[in-house]
């Protein structure tokens, strides 16, 4: 009986520590999730703005405000920036597979 008593006390202490520490562990995870959600929202807004810039640039080229040479350089630059944004976004939120689509290569 003397050996069993310390084991019971240790078990009770472990359970108490686990329950007391639970809110602390979940609040740290919640904070990280909120930061990720904020970053995702920022990246989506930047992506949408970049798409608008690309559309506006195409319209400027069609209306003759930009030469083909100017348009190609600016278009290449904007699309490279859009790809960087999409890559960052994919790291935080992997794209969902579409119905009937093949599995991505390398996954």
pLDDT score at 51? 96
Q: Is the pLDDT of residue 4 over 90?
A: no
Q: Rounded to a whole number, what is the distance in angstroms from the first to the last CA of the chain?
A: 56
Q: Is the pLDDT of residue 107 over 60?
A: no
pLDDT score at 47? 95
Please check whether residue 40 is in contact with residue 89, taking contact to mean a CB–CB distance below 8 angstroms: yes
Kindly report the pTM of this predicted structure: 0.58
pLDDT digits (tens, 9 = 90+) for 21-71: 777 766 666 666 677 888 999 999 999 999 999 999 999 999 999 999 999
How far is the CA of 22 from the CAs of 10, 25, 57, 84, in angstroms? 18, 5, 52, 38
Q: How far is residue 48's CA from residue 37's CA, in Å, rounded to a whole number?
A: 16
């Amino acid at each position: 009986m003397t050996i069993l008593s310390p084991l019971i006390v240790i078990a009770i202490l472990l359970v108490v520590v686990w329950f007391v520490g639970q809110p602390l562990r979940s609040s740290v995870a919640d904070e990280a999730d909120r930061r990720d959600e904020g970053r995702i929202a920022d990246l989506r807004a930047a992506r949408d703005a970049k798409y608008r810039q690309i559309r506006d640039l195409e319209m400027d080229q069609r209306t003759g405000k930009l030469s083909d040479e100017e348009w190609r350089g600016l278009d290449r630059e904007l699309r490279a920036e859009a790809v960087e944004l999409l890559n960052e976004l994919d790291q935080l939120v992997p794209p969902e597979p579409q119905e009937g689509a093949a599995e991505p290569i390398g996954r």
